[in-house]
Amino acid sequence: MENYLYFRTQATLANDDDVAQSGLFPVSSFLGMHPTSDTALTLFFKPRQLVDSTAMHVLETDEKATAGAAASTLQQLSNKTEADNVVLTVTANKHKEVMQAIANTMTQSQAGFINVADDLTGSTSYLHPNITACGAITIQTAGTIAGPSLVAVATG
């Protein structure tokens, strides 16, 4: 059975209605974590949306290129989507303790559902005492253009 990590930023149950409010991530999609400030720990996950695709874009066409055959210069664009992430608010400079607790739970738990951070008013709960809030959940929705390469192609 696979374990899943649960996060909720929303304090009001009635408003917990989109991907920025709560999320459940399979442990198998976990990529790593690191401090992003004295009181923030960011966890990274494989993106749920577009993972990798390639597109070709015609930059120019030379109709007189070679004995009646047209030639085109194409630009290859690779779309790489950034990782999904969750930002946890932690006690100042207690990142290591929180990272250790998350790593140990991911590798040792057989629970299936692991509550890492739940900010629901009246019943907040956190995997470790040094987690004080679930700061943000970011699900990437669009690819970013990475290093284009040029390709000359003869047509005709």
Look at residue 48 and tell me if it is in a domain. Answer: yes
Q: Cβ distance 26 to 48 under 8 Å?
A: no
* Per-residue confidence (pLDDT) for residue 79, from 0 to 100: 55
**Is 40 domain-assigned?**
yes
**Domain of residue 126, residue span:** 4-52+81-142
Q: What is the pLDDT of residues 19-33, one digit of tens each?
A: 889 999 999 999 999
Query: Does residue 35 form part of some domain?
Result: yes
Side-chain-side CA neighbours of 143 within 13 Å: the count stands at 13
Q: Does 86 fall in a domain?
A: yes
The predicted structure's pLDDT at residue 1: 83
Query: How do 52-66 and 69-80 pair as beta strands?
Result: antiparallel
Query: Considering the domain boundaries, does residue 72 fall inside one?
Result: no
pTM: 0.72
Is residue 92 within 8 A of residue 62, CB to CB? The reply is no
Residue 63: inside a domain: no
Q: How confident is the model at residue 69 (pLDDT cuts 50, 70, 90)?
A: low
pLDDT tens digits, one per residue of 90-108: 999 999 999 999 999 999 9
What residues pair up with 137 in beta bridges, in sequence order? 86
Q: State residue 14 phi and psi, 5-degree precision.
A: -65, -20
Query: Into how many domains does the chain fold?
Result: 1
Residue 134 located in a structural domain: yes
pLDDT at 150 > cutoff 50: no
Q: How confident is the model at residue 140 (pLDDT cuts 50, 70, 90)?
A: confident
